Amino acid sequence: MLLEVDNINVHYGKIAALKGMSIQVGEGEIVSLIGANGAGKTTTLKTISGLRPLTSGRILFNGQDISKTPGHKRVLLGIGQSPEGRGVFPGMTVQENLLMGAYTRKDDLTADLDEVYELFPRLNERRTQFGGTMSGGEQQMIAIGRALMTKPKVLLLDEPSMGLAPMLIAQIFDIIREINKRGTTVLLVEQNAQQALKLSDRAYVLETGQVVKSARGVDLLDDPQVRAAYLGGDLGV
């Protein structure tokens, strides 16, 4: 198993954000976390990438316990994250934003930069434009591209479709599928549960910091409780 989150507890002060959380992500998979706001999805990603400390439990990556490994070293191991809210540097160009993702690397970046521009032709057209002047969808492309510049083994994506028009949402999900097809494992947090489940090999449903269901994405699409809570009841999928 590439990534194992084993019975972790995470607190914000005295408030328990994650309670006995356990998930697994196999190499080559797309795995989604779905749930209501405040369920602990973003906290899970932040904890995996080293931005939130564990209270207890452990995180294994490629069989190595990384529970106490600093965040910047987790990037070097192969954990890349595109954060909720995108986090684009507004006063830097598109290309400078992308290169920020590679700040820990000492090797030649040309091939990886070319691949990002191939995935996101819009960024190639606008590589000298400042990040702060780009649209929401374009900024999301920058955020994903920047994470790809870390050469991740697993890509953590936090709400990549948030605030985007339907046409752009479809495009972003197509790109996620292509990234996975090219060999990158994906752990996806996504409010658009229907699209996430269609895309995913497997998924976990979170409620109040705990996993309450896990199954193949296609099976959760047909689960009556999941449909009622996250897919608009009888909405066709």
pLDDT digits (tens, 9 = 90+) for 162-206: 888 888 889 999 999 999 999 999 999 998 999 999 999 999 999
Query: Is residue 160 included in any domain, yes or no?
Result: yes
Query: Is residue 133 included in any domain, yes or no?
Result: no
Query: Is residue 44 included in any domain, yes or no?
Result: yes
Stretch 129-143: mean pLDDT: 93
Query: Is residue 120 included in any domain, yes or no?
Result: no
Query: Is residue 134 included in any domain, yes or no?
Result: no
Residue 50 has pLDDT above 50, yes or no: yes
Amino acid 209: pLDDT: 96
More confident of the two residues 164 and 217: 217
SS (H, E, C) the chain: CCEEEEEEEEEECCEEEEEEEEEEECCCCEEEEEECCCCCHHHHHHHHCCCCCCCEEEEEECCEECCCCCHHHHHHHCEEEECCCCCCCCCCEHHHHHHHCCCCCCCCCHHHHHHHHHHCHHHHHCCCCEHHHCCHHHHHHHHHHHHHCCCCCEEEEECCCCCCCHHHHHHHHHHHHHHHHCCCEEEEECCCHHHHHHHCCEEEEEECCEEEEEEEHHHHHCCHHHHHHHCCCCCCC
Query: Is residue 21 included in any domain, yes or no?
Result: yes
Q: What is the CATH number of the domain that holds 174?
A: 3.40.50.300
Q: How confident is the model at residue 229 (pLDDT cuts 50, 70, 90)?
A: confident
Residue 24 has pLDDT above 50, yes or no: yes
pLDDT digits (tens, 9 = 90+) for 104-122: 888 889 999 999 999 999 9
Tally of structural domains, the chain:
1
Residue 132 has pLDDT above 50, yes or no: yes
Amino acid 236: pLDDT: 36
pTM for the whole structure: 0.92
Which domain range does residue 7 map to? 3-87+152-230
CB 63 within 8 A of CB 117: no
Residue 138 and residue 168: Cα distance in Å, rounded?
9
Amino acid 118: pLDDT: 96
Stretch 26-49: mean pLDDT: 95
Query: Is residue 125 included in any domain, yes or no?
Result: no
Averaged confidence pLDDT in the chain = 93
Amino acid 162: pLDDT: 87
